Structure 1
Amino acid sequence: MVRGNLTIISEFLLLGLSEVPGHQPLLFGLFLSMYLIAVAGNLLIILAISSTPTLHTPMYFFIASLSCVDICFTSVTVPKMLLNIQTQGQSIPYAGCLTQMYFLIFFLELDNVLLAMMAYDRFVAICRPLHYAATLSPKFCVTSLSVALIVTNIYPLVHTLLMDTLSFCVSVRIQHIFCELYALLKLSCSDIHVNELVVYTLGSLLFVTPFLLISLSYMRIFSAILRLRSSQSKMKAFSTCSSHLAVVSLFYGTLFGVYLRPSSSYTVGDSVATVLYAVVAPMLNPFIYSLRNKDMKGALKGLFSWSRVWSW
């Protein structure tokens, strides 16, 4: 069907990571396990924080928010892939593909902003501890998150509207497990210069700016830590940032490797890299925050103890 000069399609085909039939059971078991671990781990983090009054602080508010976003992030992609493997189908409706792309970009961008908020939290806690309670008040945290929810809708909305104007007259076969932005742009036979311009301008503003704020925060943090006299104080200050640094490194290490290049250079290898930030990172984040945090360990132990008492 044709509308003007545009070819109208009804569906895309998600080819996944492999089309070999013998690989499908392995991929199904692997991604189902990672998805269940990601959802269960992040849900435990949320429950532990919400049920422990001592963790009702700005830092843990942002951690709980990040866990909530990570659950949504993986739920946008993995269940559809598992359904396709189970039914031995590859199709996803055109509208469903654009919707999936929209929420992927939205949650990815929200992750980015939350990581910047958490870096600011650590900056105030270490560099301006006397102003911590006043600066990061409950009202500030809720307002910041609310503004982030509104602002992070702009970029995916613009891309979704632009994507709907493109023609896909050559192929609808997406070499990916989900409708990823660059994978879709590479399939289009229309002029995508406007789309790429949006990626490099609006995308850079909304993705690179939080990264620069994180970098600036940690430059100030490390400078403050180095001025501390005792080694014990330095280690204690650094330990409060180590979990966040690990999550930031995991997130941006894969994100920038894929998106700081033209869409024309997008390869199958990049689709594997996107799985790292879309599935693996949300699965590992709860372990990073719980294993390296005494307060979180205590909250999780209390949660499990309460559940055992309740089961009796």
Structure 2
Amino acid sequence: MEFFNSALGKNISFVRPPYFIITGLTGIPHVNYYWGIVFFIYVGSMIGNISVMAVIILGNHLKSPKYIAVFNLIFTDVLNICALVPKVIDTFLFNNNVIPYRECLVYMLFTFVFLSMQSFNLVVLAIDRLIAIAAPLHYHVKVTKTFIISIIAFFWIYSLTLTLVAMGLITRLSICESVIIQSHFCDHGPIYRLGCNDLTPSHTMAGLSPTLKLWLPLFFIVVSYIFIGYTIVKISVPQERVKALKTCSAHLSLVAVYYVPFIFVYRFGSKIPTNARVMSLSINAIVPPMLNPIIYVLQTKEIKDSIKKMLKLKRLSKDNLW
């Protein structure tokens, strides 16, 4: 750590190391197999998400505000795994676990913006479902393309602002304890704990950030489904009640897939070993993007119908060629 000592001797206010070392999973035999699985999940996620995006773009009847929100969810999933997984694979499968300081901050910026946008996208879809079921007669008046795009834009700005604040606080730290990040990427928590000056602002932000990015959106989703449930109970026709529930099934599946691993990690916190935390968070970063397109294809009639129509047109074009 000679560069730390020399820097401090020159009265430099903030000690910024030239690099960090990302540890990932330690002490696990044949750990490369795990990261190999992560790579294959990444490939499958990219194929699935890009396919669903193409279906939404090409499907003439998938131009409603709801599918703008769905497209943004899938697009965010693509950005998220593209920001995170290629670097993870390079780090652990090819042993390039040294990352420059500035590159690490950029890595953190993109990863956290896209990760937090996943929860905000679920809020956008919850708003759509709430209005569709609680006020069906006014749905097309209230839920317009401008309305959905405005909410999505607000959440992108909100997510970016929160992440930039957290990054700004990191740059005000003197990293003197170590350069080893005990995570699978440039994670905010493990990095700010390496500081040797006042950690209070970063510690406060680390405590506040999950509330603003995870638990507040989850609270809104839960409250929206309380209202949805109350509305469904009041529906007198059983078939209509079942139909209303089916319209929420895909969204509820996405919420469960995204939040259950986070609840596990934050519920047990420091009680779980570092390897278990790293594995849980890495799985949570890649599994929802893999499952989201599957959930929407299997549980959304409009998307299934659009895929069937495209396949039918493709078959007809082939028959015509012959």
Give the TM-score normalised by the residue count of structure 1.
0.90
Whole-Å Cα distance in 2 between the matches of residues 183 and 266 of structure 1? Answer: 14
Moved more, 237-246 or 261-270: 261-270
- Quick one: which of 84, 91, 94 aligns to 1:77? 84
Residue equivalent to 2:72: 65
- Quick one: which of 3, 8, 17 aligns to 1:9? 17
Whole-Å Cα distance in 2 between the matches of residues 264 and 155 of structure 1? Answer: 27
Residue equivalent to 1:278: 285
Whole-Å Cα distance in 2 between the matches of residues 269 and 129 of structure 1? Answer: 45
- Quick one: which of 103, 106, 118 aligns to 1:99? 106
Superposed, 1:255-294 pairs within 5 Å as 255-259=262-266, 267-294=274-301
Larger Rg: 2
Superposed, 1:75-224 pairs within 5 Å as 75-201=82-208, 203-224=210-231
Corresponding residue SS for 2:185: coil
Whole-Å Cα distance in 1 between the matches of residues 261 and 162 of structure 2? Answer: 20
> CA separation of 1:204/1:268 partners in 2, compared to 1, >3 Å: closer, same or farther?
same
AA in 2 matched with 1:93: P
Task: Kindly state the Cα deviation for residue 283 of structure 1 after the two structures are TM-superposed.
Answer: 1.0
Moved more, 58-67 or 81-90: 81-90
Task: Kindly state the Cα deviation for residue 199 of structure 1 after the two structures are TM-superposed.
Answer: 3.1
AA in 2 matched with 1:7: V
Whole-Å Cα distance in 1 between the matches of residues 209 and 95 of structure 2? Answer: 38
Task: Kindly state the Cα deviation for residue 263 of structure 1 after the two structures are TM-superposed.
Answer: 7.7
Please list the CA deviations of residues 81-131 of structure 1 after superposition, one character each: whole Å capped at 9, or x if unmatched.
Answer: 212234322111111111111112211222121111100100110110011
Task: Kindly state the Cα deviation for residue 28 of structure 1 after the two structures are TM-superposed.
Answer: 4.0
> CA separation of 1:41/1:284 partners in 2, compared to 1, >3 Å: closer, same or farther?
same
Task: Kindly state the Cα deviation for residue 258 of structure 1 after the two structures are TM-superposed.
Answer: 3.3
Whole-Å Cα distance in 2 between the matches of residues 75 and 135 of structure 1? Answer: 34
Corresponding residue SS for 2:99: strand
**May I ask how many residue pairs the two structures share in their alignment?**
311
Task: Kindly state the Cα deviation for residue 136 of structure 1 after the two structures are TM-superposed.
Answer: 0.7
Root-mean-square deviation (CA, aligned residues, Å) is 2.4
Whole-Å Cα distance in 2 between the matches of residues 86 and 194 of structure 1? Answer: 35
Corresponding residue SS for 2:235: coil
Corresponding residue SS for 1:152: helix
> CA separation of 1:138/1:282 partners in 2, compared to 1, >3 Å: closer, same or farther?
same
Task: Kindly state the Cα deviation for residue 300 of structure 1 after the two structures are TM-superposed.
Answer: 2.4
Moved more, 238-247 or 297-306: 297-306
> CA separation of 1:310/1:198 partners in 2, compared to 1, >3 Å: closer, same or farther?
farther
Task: Kindly state the Cα deviation for residue 17 of structure 1 after the two structures are TM-superposed.
Answer: 2.4
Indicate if the aligned counterparts of 2:232 and 2:241 stay in contact, CA closer than 8 A. yes
Whole-Å Cα distance in 2 between the matches of residues 176 and 308 of structure 1? Answer: 48
> CA separation of 1:181/1:302 partners in 2, compared to 1, >3 Å: closer, same or farther?
farther
Please list the CA deviations of residues 192-243 of structure 1 after superposition, one character each: whole Å capped at 9, or x if unmatched.
Answer: 2211212334552343332222111100001111112233222111111011
Superposed, 1:14-25 pairs within 5 Å as 14-18=22-26, 22-24=30-32
Corresponding residue SS for 2:193: helix
Gaps of 5+ in 2: none
Identical positions, percent = 28
